[in-house]
Amino acid sequence: MTEAREATQEERNGKDSRQPHTMRRTVPNTSGSAARLLDRRRFLLGCTTLAAASWLGGVVPLQAAQVQPRPAQSRPNILFILSDNVGYGVLSSYNGGTSDTPTPRIDSIGAEGLRLTNFNVENQCTPSRAAILTGRLPIRSGIGKAIAAGAPGGLHPWEITLAEMLGDAGYRTAMFGKWHLGAGQGRLPTDQGFDEWFGWETTDIIYWSGNPGMPLKDVDYIREAKKGETPRNVQLYDEATRRLVDRMVTDHAVDCIARNARGDNPFFLYVPFAFAHHPALAHPDFKGKSPAGEFGDSLLEHDHNVGRLLDALTAAGIAQNTVVIWASDNGPSPLPTVTPWWTIGDAGPWRGEIGTVLEGNIRTSCLVRWPEHIPGGRTSNQIVSAVDLFPTLARIAGGKVPTDRPIDGVDQLDFFTGRQETSNREHVLLFLGEKLMAVKWRNYKIHLQGLDRVDGVFEDWSFPRAFNLASDPKERWNIIWQNTWIGERVGPFVAAYQASVKKYPNLAAGQPNNRLPRYGRKDPAAETGAEGVQHKLESIRQ
Ligand SMILES: [Ca+2]
């Protein structure tokens, strides 16, 4: 508990040890060390011999943002709807209504609230979900890519999730749908802060569940549990069930809203739908309803399901006091070997697919509604990251952002509510596995390596490439030679990350539950067992 000890010391020194760890990036001072590192002449003459990542160096100043707890009686419910592999160009409100698969119910969330056109996620399902639930770059949690169902790994129990943070703030918490953050002991939703859950690990399961060459395991089933219970297997998640799961999820969520609408405490309901993970198979009621095949039918079904959730809020009389977020975890998944072409969706003006860090994958739709707080009908192209939702929701809910670990998210509430026009971030770091693949800053993006397909070959470029997203949304025209100065501006972000990792080493992939981050603890025994769990709880209560 290094940070706790440091906090105690700070208290002795008269400092506020409870200052949230939420960090707000400011524009780096380029006249300092960063400039010296990236003097243009040296850059042009010498950088071809440097490793791409080390080319980006410097220091970024950080400042803590104040987070004021909200009064308990004004805290809203939170409904977080997450879709799967839905590309930027799928929703009508993002493709200009040019498709014949309208999504009026989902679009209404943005029409009555905020529509983000520069919402940045991670490369695949597991890292994006880790980012959303922890507010941390998933690489810090040892998560670089999606994990296979039943494989070791996923989100370490030491991580503090949205459900734990909100639960600690008095929220009731529930999750219905896809988890994909680990199915091992101590890693299920009810181990990670949710009071109840119904769902499955990953939709990939349907390709092999029941296969005679693959013995059935618990992870092949849709499961359910309340906190403290041993999960029950509800039914096999196979191709026939794939068509039915999102209705099951909707039924559970609608029931949950009705049950919790009049409770003393607000609720956090996390609904990660199966749509549109391949194969996008529609409920039989929607078969043939669109001219766009199974994907289109599924999209119409998804819009209908989201509409049922919105209607449930209205019917319960709590729509005005509920924050609703709809987002996608990553872009489309064009896997022609397993998926007919019409099931892939579309990345809109961007290029790229799941598993890459091209805009088509890491920029997804995101709509946020909070009546009387977030003005309706606003669209913004300001950069927002999935990790920002944790500190933003913490402020809305009066929750505590952990102070004992790096939190990469920044509080965006003032931006969401329109109290300020600009986002509190101007950059994102983009990883794939353990590789830093790209840095995006304002309308520029520097790629350190190339990768165009989820199953493609890494192109180990001898020099980074830069793209102007404002004029080149497909990221095709390298402008680095005329714009070497960009390296000087993004270098400090990388250096800040590297410095934080030096102080707070990343968890290892698949790190065992009983191995907690050391972070300079005096007593190594405190890393394990019950004391470790206690530490985890203390870190959100200090
Ligand atoms: Ca996904």
SS3 labels along 354-365: CCCCCHHHHEEE
Are 276 and 366 part of one and the same domain?
yes
pLDDT at 209: 85
Among residues 125, 156, 277, 447, which one is catalytic? 125
Ligand 1: distance of its center to the CA of 140 in Å?
A: 19
Residue at a domain's end among 390, 425, 460? 425
Same structural domain for residues 418 and 435? no
| Helix, coil or strand: residue 117 | strand
Supply the CATH number for residue 346's domain.
3.40.720.10
How far is residue 516's CA from residue 462's CA, in Å, rounded to a whole number?
Answer: 38
Q: Is 125 a catalytic residue?
A: yes
Write down the residue that tokens 């929220």 correspond to: 171
Do residues 48 and 462 make contact, with C-beta atoms less than 8 angstroms apart? yes
User: Are 473 and 338 members of one domain?
Assistant: no
Q: Return the pLDDT at 372.
A: 97
Q: Which domain holds residue 47?
A: 2-56+428-505
DSSP-assigned beta bridge partners for residue 450 = 459
Q: Cα angle at 516 between 514 and 203, to 5 degrees?
A: 75
CA distances from 313 to 199, 253, 256, 260 (A): 22, 10, 10, 11
Local structure of 346: helix, strand or coil: coil
Position 189 in a domain: no
3-state secondary structure 1-63: CHHHHHHHHHHHCCCCCCCCCCEEECCCCCCCHHHHHCCHHHHHHHHHHCCHHHHCCCCCCEE
Q: What is residue 521's predicted lDDT score, i.e. its pLDDT?
A: 52
9 with 121, same domain: the answer is: no
What's the Cα-to-Cα distance from 211 to each of 205, 236, 237, 511, rounded to whole Å?
10, 12, 12, 30
Q: Are strands 23-25 and 267-272 parallel, antiparallel or unpaired?
A: unpaired
Tokens of 59: 């220091």
Ligand 1 centre distance from Cα of residue 85 (Å): 4
∠ CA 150-181-523, rounded to 5°: 100
Say yes or no: 352 and 288 in one domain: yes
pLDDT of residue 46: 29
Number of domains in the chain: 2
Residues 45 and 109 in one domain: no
Q: What are phi and psi of 455, to 5 degrees?
A: -110, 30
Does residue 306 sit in the same domain as residue 379? yes
Question: How far is the C-alpha of 179 from the C-alpha of 365, rounded, in Å?
Answer: 20
Helices (H) and strands (E) in the chain, counts: 16, 17
Cα→Cα distances 27→63, 226, 305, 307, Å: 11, 46, 42, 41
Tell whether 30 is covered by a domain.
Answer: yes
Question: At residue 229, what are phi and psi to the nearest 5 degrees?
Answer: -90, 155
Residues lining ion ligand 1 (Cβ < 5 A) are 84-85, 125, 329-330
Report CA-CA distances (Å) from 166 to 17, 402, 407: 21, 12, 16
Please name which of 476, 482, 448 lies closest in space to residue 463, comparing C-alpha atoms: 448
Claim to verify: residue 400 and residue 487 sit in the same structural domain: no
For residues 303 and 158, state if they share a domain. yes
Sign of CA dihedral 192, 196, 202, 206: positive
Residue 396 lies in a domain: yes
Distance 372 CA to ligand 1 centre (A): 32
How many CB atoms neighbour CB 462 within 10 A? Answer: 8
Tokens at residue 451, please? Answer: 């990768």
Do the beta carbons of residue 173 and residue 151 sit within 8 Å?
no
Would you say 517 and 523 are in contact if contact means Cβ atoms under 8 Å apart?
A: no
Which segments of 50-179 are extended strands (E)? Answer: 62-64, 77-83, 114-120, 172-178
Q: What is the pLDDT along the chain (542 residues), one digit of tens a residue?
A: 233 333 333 333 333 333 333 333 333 333 333 333 233 323 322 232 233 444 443 333 333 334 444 444 579 999 999 999 999 999 999 999 988 999 999 999 999 999 999 999 999 999 999 999 999 999 999 999 999 888 888 999 999 999 999 999 999 999 999 999 999 999 999 999 999 999 999 999 998 887 888 889 999 999 999 999 999 999 999 999 999 999 999 999 999 999 999 889 999 999 999 999 998 999 999 999 999 888 999 999 999 999 999 999 999 999 999 999 999 999 998 766 555 555 678 999 999 999 999 999 999 999 999 999 999 999 999 999 999 999 999 999 999 999 999 999 999 999 999 999 999 999 999 999 999 999 999 999 999 999 999 889 999 999 999 999 999 999 999 999 999 999 999 999 999 999 999 999 999 998 999 898 877 554 445 444 444 444 444 544 43
The tokens describing 522, both together, are 């005096």
Backbone angles phi, psi at 92, to 5 degrees: -60, -35
In a domain, 271, yes or no: yes
Statement to judge: residues 401 and 438 lie in one domain: no
Is residue 307 situated within a structural domain?
yes
- 74 domain residue, yes or no: no
- Is 409 found in the same domain as 295? yes
Active-site choice (156, 180, 304, 373):
180
Distance 330 CA to ligand 1 centre (A): 5
Sign (positive or negative) of CA dihedral 93, 95, 98, 99:
negative
| Tokens found for residue 320 | 């005005």
The Cα 177–Cα 224 span in angstroms is: 10
Q: Is 197 left (phi over 0), alpha (psi -120 to 50) or beta?
A: beta
Give the domain-ending residue among 403, 425, 447: 425
Distances (CA, A) of 305 to 127, 179, 181, 183, 368: 25, 19, 24, 26, 17
Residue 287 shares a structural domain with residue 413: yes
Q: Is residue 327 part of a domain?
A: yes
Q: How much distance in Å is there from the Cα of 147 to the middle of ligand 1?
A: 11
Cα of 326 to ligand 1 centre, how many Å? Answer: 14
Axis-axis angle for helices 2-12, 529-539 (nearest 10): 50
Q: Does 67 reside within a domain?
A: no
pLDDT at 519: 75
pLDDT at 337: 57
